[in-house]
Amino acid sequence: MIAIMSYIKSAALEETGYVVLDRYNQELDPKEWLDIEYVDWKSSGDTRFAPLASAQGLIECNGFWNSVPPRTDKDGVWIPSQVEKAPNLVRRAQEPGANVGRCRVIELQPTPYGECLYNLHQDDNNRLNPDGTGWVVRGFFNLTDDKDSFFVLRENRTDPQGETRIALPAGAQLIIDTQRLWHAATHIGTDPRYCLITSWESGPELDAYIEKYNGRNHVESVPVDQDILDAGYAEQARRDAARAAYYAAKGQAAVAQAMSEA
Ligand SMILES: [Fe+2]
């Protein structure tokens, strides 16, 4: 007999891989993200992170699979010194009642559209996640009022067909299967953007939360002039080619080195 297992996933995310929830009234809350402690952590783009929950409850951002013993991105340990400074952010991350893995605030410096396209990536959310349990997805709560910024989602990194651009005003709330969708933020402005990112386990709790806040799996894309889009596509291609050339040159140098040692 063959047992066929699969992950528990949200039906709401099945078609498009994302939902946009009702907007949160961010203005009512204090700016807790300015009080917590940040560490340099290279993600896509020019970023720093302030972890609220981590593998061991320390102020670090490493994947839980690099912890000892290695484990999947669930059962994050809340960091007391950060929780104390950001009770509202913690309350919001815990509101669904779904298992929380990593939970952190990202600080992103201004990022034009072409650079954002170069930054498009998929997250490694489900490494070591046991089959038959809930698929890990991520919540993105925009904290700063980034009126001209938007999240870019694609099924294929280099194909703009079907690209979705989701607006990022203060209080914007998205849940995204970021292991499935290529994603990155275009951030227009002069100040950094702050966003609370939480890894949640899919299941009935998360489904109920999505329903409660009217999760919509289709939204109108933020309109962007065609010339800016075209310039962005060209910039992504240029940066991709430069990266490929860099690694090709490095590879050839390694081959030359190996041959000289042979
Ligand atoms: Fe990501």
Minimal CA–CA distance to 168: which of 192, 191, 190, 195?
A: 195
- Residue 15 is predicted with a pLDDT of 97
121: CA distance to ligand 1 center in Å?
6
Three-state DSSP class for residue 74: coil
Distance of CA 100 to the CA centre of its chain: 14
* End-to-end Cα spacing for the chain: 52
pTM strictly above 0.75: yes
140: CA distance to ligand 1 center in Å?
10
pLDDT per residue over 68-89, tens digit each?
999 999 999 999 999 999 999 9
Minimal CA–CA distance to 221: which of 10, 44, 20?
A: 20
For residues 200-229, one letter each, b for 16 or more C-beta atoms within 10 angstroms of the residue's C-beta and e for the rest, the string is bbbbebbbebbeebebebeeeebebeeeeb
Check if the beta carbon of residue 163 is closer than 8 Å to that of residue 232: no
**Radius of gyration of the chain, Cα coordinates, nearest whole angstrom:** 19
pLDDT per residue over 45-61, tens digit each?
788 999 999 999 999 99
* The residue count for the chain: 262
Alpha-carbon gap, residue 117 to 139, rounded angstroms: 21
253: CA distance to ligand 1 center in Å?
32
- Residue 261 is predicted with a pLDDT of 52
Phi, psi of 254, deg, nearest 5: -65, -40
Categorize the per-residue pLDDT at 40 as very low, low, confident or very high, splitting at 50, 70 and 90: confident
143: CA distance to ligand 1 center in Å?
17
| Farthest-apart Cα atoms in the chain, separation | 67
11: CA distance to ligand 1 center in Å?
21
Check if the beta carbon of residue 57 is closer than 8 Å to that of residue 78: yes
107: CA distance to ligand 1 center in Å?
13
pLDDT per residue over 130-171, tens digit each?
999 999 999 999 999 999 999 999 999 999 999 999 999 999
9: CA distance to ligand 1 center in Å?
19
187: CA distance to ligand 1 center in Å?
15
Residue 253 amino acid letter: A
**Out of 47-56, 110-119, 151-160, 246-255, which region has the weakest mean confidence (pLDDT)?**
246-255
Categorize the per-residue pLDDT at 42 as very low, low, confident or very high, splitting at 50, 70 and 90: confident
Check if the beta carbon of residue 150 is closer than 8 Å to that of residue 121: no
32: CA distance to ligand 1 center in Å?
22
Check if the beta carbon of residue 216 is closer than 8 Å to that of residue 104: no
Bridge partners of 44?
Answer: none
183: CA distance to ligand 1 center in Å?
6
